[in-house]
Amino acid sequence: MNQYLEKETEEDRKEVLTALIEIGNASKVKNTFLKAFREQSVMDKSGIYRLHGNYKLHGTTSGRLSSSDPNLQNLPSGSKYGKLVKSIFIAPDGYLFCGADYNALEDRVGAEETRDTAKCKIMLDGYDSHSLNTAVYFEEELKERGLPYGKDISIEDSFTIKEKAPDLRQKSKSVTFALAYGGTHFTVMDSLGVTEEEAKSIVENYHELYSGVVKYYDKWVDDAIANKCVGNTPHGLKIRCPELLSNDETVAEKARRSYTNALIQGLSGQLTVKALNRIQARIEEEDLIDDVKLFLTIHDAIYVLVKDDSSSIKKANDLIIGEMIKDYKEDQLVKNKANLDIGYSWDKQEELPNNASGEEIKDILKELK
């Protein structure tokens, strides 16, 4: 419905559409999240209500974990109601609610695995990624505004676009996300409300910019077909994908999307699970079971309860981040990055620098209190 709102010119109709969108969003939060939390929470002996979701190792084709009853991996984050829902989750007395999140893990893994020139340039040279995409997708619009355009812009140019063309940069995000996960020009038409010709041009520009990614995916699909439609992903997951040979183009394309998503998305999920296992092993080895308690993972993020004192927080920060940023392969060019956020509730978090000193941590705790 958002695309219709963008095209609408009459104020009365825009007001109605906006109200309908708001009602839909609020209804989704109420029925999908709040209702499930209330019905499925369990009170422990201390009077604290807890949620115990089920995690499934084989619930997705890509190899990522899935969750149900309730789905704890589908919590709203960036939406209007994200902070409101997160405010429900608070740390027990004497502990902090902490989240360790990989920085752009799928993008970093994608750059590492494909060694695509543009992706590596973004990760290693410091380009603003969405602005580089904007410079390629919307060349004509940038020309008209007298701004830099094209795939050969400089790092400084990318930040000029970020500052002076935020509207186009915002549009580029939905395009990149859609195409990275197998979308087509129809997806772009739907997302941006552009003509078929404009959408096809944007898709061609995307494929030209990320030609290394396209070749990488094409190779994996060809190899799978040659292996009787059995694909072996970089992290050892075997996927049977007979639909790749379907005579129905829609079915074959869906199978291709599902398989190629497993290559990067699945590997990213597996890296998180492996980090979880290493972190828990270290917690036990270093006798920190009462100080650091793992309790949740959502895709590329790991959540822990940490004792509310600077010494425990420092140990947790150094241990958790140290395990998350370990190289996952020899000669890894694009390194993993992660940061730990701390707070007394999920909606109010402060980021800790990697290797933060005890004094830095004490200062942050003062701000939180």
Helix, strand and coil content of the chain, in percent to the nearest 5, comes to: 55, 15, 30
How large is the C-alpha radius of gyration of the chain?
Answer: 23
Q: Please give the residue range of the domain that contains residue 139.
A: 115-261
> What single-letter amino acid sits at 105?
L
Q: Counting beta carbons within 10 angstroms of the beta carbon of residue 126, is it exposed (0 to 12), middle (13 to 18) or buried (19 or more)?
A: exposed
CB 75 within 8 A of CB 86: yes
Domain membership flag for residue 192: yes
Query: Does residue 12 lie within any of the structural domains?
Result: no
| Predicted local confidence at residue 236, as pLDDT | 77
pLDDT value for 76: 66
Does residue 251 lie in a domain region? yes
| 238-242 contact pairs (CB < 8 A, 24+) | 239/61
Q: For the residues 190-214, what does the mean pLDDT come to?
A: 88
Q: What is the pLDDT of residues 146-160, one digit of tens each?
A: 999 998 899 999 999
Least confident of 18-22, 209-213, 224-228, 247-251: 18-22
How many structural domains is the chain composed of? Answer: 1
Q: Is the pLDDT of residue 2 over 60?
A: no
| In a domain? residue 257 | yes
Interacting residues of 58 by C-beta distance below 8 A, sequence separation 6+: none
- Find all residues with CB under 8 Å of 340, minimum gap 6, and list them: 98, 99, 100, 316, 317, 320, 321, 351, 352
Instruction: Identify whether 122 is part of a domain.
Output: yes
Model pTM? 0.83
Predicted pLDDT at 77:
66
Q: What is the pLDDT of residue 308?
A: 95
Q: What tens digit of pLDDT does each residue of 272-319 get?
A: 999 999 999 999 999 999 999 999 998 889 999 999 999 999 999 999
CATH code for position 241? 1.10.150.20
Q: How confident is the model at residue 175 (pLDDT cuts 50, 70, 90)?
A: confident
Q: For position 29, what pLDDT does the model report?
A: 82
pLDDT at 4 over 80: no
Residue 364 lies inside a defined structural domain of this protein: no
pLDDT (0 to 100) of residue 5:
53
Tell me, yes or no, whether 194 lies in a domain: yes
CA 38 to chain centre: 27
Residue 41 located in a structural domain = no
Of residues 189 and 236, the one with the higher pLDDT is 189
Cα–Cα distance list, 297 to 285, 294, 302, 339 (Å): 21, 9, 5, 15
